[in-house]
């Protein structure tokens, strides 16, 4: 399956992506995590990305699209992937469409996580993530680690992201509304969007997401069959 996950900062995209990717046996590809890995390795790409991320702005399309494409071309993504944080504006969505078309494949669903803004702010304020590559996500109140400051999964150090300050979060939300939300309409026109509430327990949201994805994929298969039947009919 090829899925795009969309939702405001702090909606729980990374949290849900970890479970959904495992359930669906596809890799979780997060452009935010890829940029953060570059920052911690102090690469040129990391230095460039940091200057945009610290302000809550999008990293320029040219480097972002190249990095995402490069990751999608890895062998583990040959049969599908779950994209988290990409595409993030209409030009990135168009670039993704072109790349998929060139490979003769298409997206199966765009899962839109809906969360009220006051909840997003609470989620971001308490978020702690693991410094190691796994990027496990915790919350000081909602999903605390067993030992404070230590990742349950790998023992890595937990830290608060530089872009989780109140001012930067405000800017990230503004960027989400102006630049990212338009991709929902872009994909709605392709019949790909499923919207779910991301409120409630993490497990309940995962269950809701899996059910919504199943329904979307069944509906898409049916409409592909109908299209092919009508094309056969046209030939007669
Ligand atoms: P990115 O890393 O993608 O950040 P984001 O989209 O702002 O989203 P977040 O990671 O903040 O939130 P999330 O939805 O993953 O929530 P999480 O699961 O952690 O991007 C960062 C920056 O990189 C961008 O601003 C930009 O500069 C750059 N960038 C990235 N991609 C780009 C692109 N394509 N183009 C250009 N620039 C790009 O959960 C949040 C908290 O809530 C956690 O503490 C979690 O434990 C908790 N939580 C989760 N679910 C629940 C629940 N159900 N109940 C209670 N708490 C919950
Ligand atoms: Mg995330």
Cis peptide, bond prior to residue 87, ω within 30 of zero:
yes
The best mutation among 6, 13, 173 to test binding of ligand 1, ranked by most ligand atoms within 8 Å of the C-beta, falls on 13
Residue nearest (by alpha carbon) to ligand 1 atom 43: 127
Among protein residues, the one with the nearest Cα to ligand 1's atom 41 is 123
User: Between 3.40.50.2300, 3.40.50.200, 3.30.450.90, 3.40.50.300, what CATH number should domain 2-27+74-235 receive?
Assistant: 3.40.50.300
Q: What is the pLDDT of residue 234?
A: 55
Query: 35 CB under 6 A from ligand 1?
Result: yes
Catalytic residue among 2, 71, 123, 127: 127
From the CA of 8, the nearest ligand is 1
pLDDT, position 222: 74
- Residue ID of nearest Cα to ligand 1 atom 6: 9
Q: Is 17 in the pocket of ligand 1 (CB under 6 A)?
A: no
Based on the residue annotation, tell me whether 13 is a catalytic residue of this protein: yes
Q: Which residues of the chain are modeled with pLDDT < 50?
A: 236
Which of 75, 68, 71 has its CA nearest to residue 91?
A: 68
Residue 81 CB less than 6 A away from ligand 1: no
4 closest CA partner among 67, 89, 84, 90: 84
| Cα dihedral 149, 154, 155, 161 in deg (nearest 10) | -30
In contact, 124 and 164? CB cutoff 8 Å: yes
Q: Report yes or no: 212 and 196 within 8 Å, Cβ to Cβ.
A: yes
pTM of the full structure: 0.94
| pLDDT tens-digit readout, 204-216 | 999 999 999 999 9
Q: Which atom of ligand 1 is nearest to the CA of 128?
A: 44
Query: Which pLDDT tens digit goes with each residue over 183-208?
Result: 999 999 999 999 999 999 999 999 99
Q: Where are the domains of the chain?
A: 2-27+74-235
């Amino acid at each position: 399956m090829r899925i795009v996950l969309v939702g405001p900062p702090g909606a729980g995209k990374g949290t849900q992506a970890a479970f959904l990717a495992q359930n669906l046996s596809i890799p979780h590809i997060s452009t935010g995590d890829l940029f953060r890995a570059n920052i911690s390795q102090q690469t040129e790409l990391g230095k460039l990305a940091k200057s945009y991320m610290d302000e809550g702005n999008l990293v320029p399309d040219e480097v972002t699209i190249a990095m995402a494409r490069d990751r999608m071309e890895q062998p583990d993504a040959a049969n599908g992937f779950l994209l988290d944080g990409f595409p993030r504006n209409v030009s990135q969505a168009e670039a993704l469409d072109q790349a998929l078309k060139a490979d003769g494949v298409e997206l199966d669903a765009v899962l839109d996580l809906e969360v009220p803004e006051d909840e997003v702010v609470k989620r971001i304020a308490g978020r702690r993530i693991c410094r190691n590559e796994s990027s496990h996500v915790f919350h000081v109140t909602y999903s605390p680690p067993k030992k404070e400051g230590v990742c349950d999964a790998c023992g890595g150090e937990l830290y608060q992201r530089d872009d989780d300050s109140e001012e930067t979060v405000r800017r990230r939300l503004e960027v989400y509304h102006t630049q990212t939300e338009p991709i929902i309409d872009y994909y709605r026109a392709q019949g790909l969007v499923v919207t779910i509430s991301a409120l409630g327990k993490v497990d309940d949201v995962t269950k809701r997401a899996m059910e919504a994805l199943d329904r979307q994929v069944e509906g898409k298969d049916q409409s592909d069959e109908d299209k092919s039947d009508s094309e056969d009919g046209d030939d007669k």
